[in-house]
């Protein structure tokens, strides 16, 4: 069994924020793979289903972004799973918009949701890092991540969410490198956006 958790903030006013791309990813997975209706459990909105025969639980923690680990840890302990059975989808400002990287373990790199999760379950969970770009100035990061995607962003965001779903059997099989490659094949990242200087690091 897998736990596929998206990071984000609950409530309609946050739904379109860059910080909520993790919520958008697991919502798309639930729709594409016909998971159960969302219900309250584990301090989260959760949905149950299967991806290519692999049982999975989708989580949208309702604890607010910076305390996401409380919900993820509760679900992991309930099902007696290991960190390797947990995949966290989250926004990554240090990847250009539309890029996607899979990673297991490592530090939080300033992401409080990842820090919270590591504090609850240890660092060795799987991370789907979804690039949203960087505003170019450190002082603008907070405002940037809590603002909505631009209309122009839909040109890469919609294909990226679709690719995350279409390639999901590879994720369910534990083939993270192949999953990353297939997502990027199905939804190549845009070449650049002159409005938004970014840091593009792995």
Residues annotated as part of the active site: 19
User: Whose CA is closest to 86, among 117, 125, 47, 116?
Assistant: 125
**Residue (of 91, 95, 93, 117) closest to 106 by Cα position:** 117
CA distance 9 to 149: 15
Joined together, the tokens standing for residue 91 give 């926004």
- CB contact at 8 A, 145 and 19: yes
Q: What is residue 188's three-state secondary structure?
A: coil
């Amino acid at each position: 069994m897998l736990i596929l958790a998206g990071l984000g903030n609950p409530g309609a006013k946050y739904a379109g924020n860059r910080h909520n791309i993790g919520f958008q990813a697991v919502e798309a997975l639930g729709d594409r793979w016909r998971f159960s209706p969302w219900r309250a459990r584990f301090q989260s909105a959760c949905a149950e289903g299967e991806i290519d025969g692999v049982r999975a639980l989708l989580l949208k923690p309702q604890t607010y972004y910076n305390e996401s680990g409380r919900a993820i840890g509760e679900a992991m302990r309930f099902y007696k799973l290991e960190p390797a059975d947990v995949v966290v989808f989250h926004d990554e400002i240090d990847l250009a918009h539309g890029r996607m990287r899979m990673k297991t373990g490592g530090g939080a790199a300033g992401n409080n949701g990842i820090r919270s999760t590591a504090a609850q379950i240890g660092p060795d969970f799987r991370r789907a890092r979804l690039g949203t770009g960087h505003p170019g100035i450190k002082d603008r990061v907070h405002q940037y991540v809590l603002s909505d995607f631009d209309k122009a962003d839909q040109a890469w965001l919609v294909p990226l969410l679709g690719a995350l779903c279409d390639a999901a059997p590879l994720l369910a099989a534990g083939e993270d490198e192949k999953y990353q490659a297939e997502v990027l094949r199905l939804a190549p990242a845009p070449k650049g956006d002159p409005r938004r200087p970014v840091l593009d690091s792995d």
